[in-house]
């Protein structure tokens, strides 16, 4: 198992990593909300981001935020949609 010691998410509110607890109803289902953005910002500064990504892929995470991405059926999905 990957070593996630020193992860930026340690000690944070666990609800920020659970999209079911976010306010997606206000922005439409499937769209990132401010809580998704907060989670992605915390992940962006994390010293163990790569190890977190590897572990999430190995564990086939589903509907959680890990390594700055929303995971669905073991596959990452970028939280921030590109604007044209």
Backbone phi, psi, residue 50, to 5° = -65, -45
DSSP string, 38-77: HHHHHHHT-TTHHHHHHHHHHHT--SEEETTEEEETTEEE
- pTM confidence score: 0.80
CA atoms within 13 A on the CB side of 70: 20
What range does the domain containing 54 cover?
15-77
Give, as one character, the DSSP assignment of residue 83. Answer: P
Interval 5-44: pLDDT, tens: 999 999 999 999 998 888 766 666 556 688 888 999 999 9
- Does residue 5 fall inside a structural domain? no
- Does residue 8 fall inside a structural domain? no
- Does residue 26 fall inside a structural domain? yes
Interval 68-84: pLDDT, tens: 998 988 999 876 654 44
**Count of structural domains within the chain:** 1
């Amino acid at each position: 198992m990957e070593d996630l010691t020193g992860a930026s998410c340690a000690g944070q509110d666990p609800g920020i990593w659970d999209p079911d607890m976010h306010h997606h109803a206000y922005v439409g289902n499937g769209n990132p909300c401010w809580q998704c953005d907060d989670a992605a910002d915390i992940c962006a500064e994390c010293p163990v981001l790569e190890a977190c990504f590897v572990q999430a892929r190995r564990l086939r995470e589903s509907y959680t935020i890990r390594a700055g991405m929303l995971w669905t059926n073991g596959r990452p999905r970028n939280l921030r949609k590109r604007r044209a």
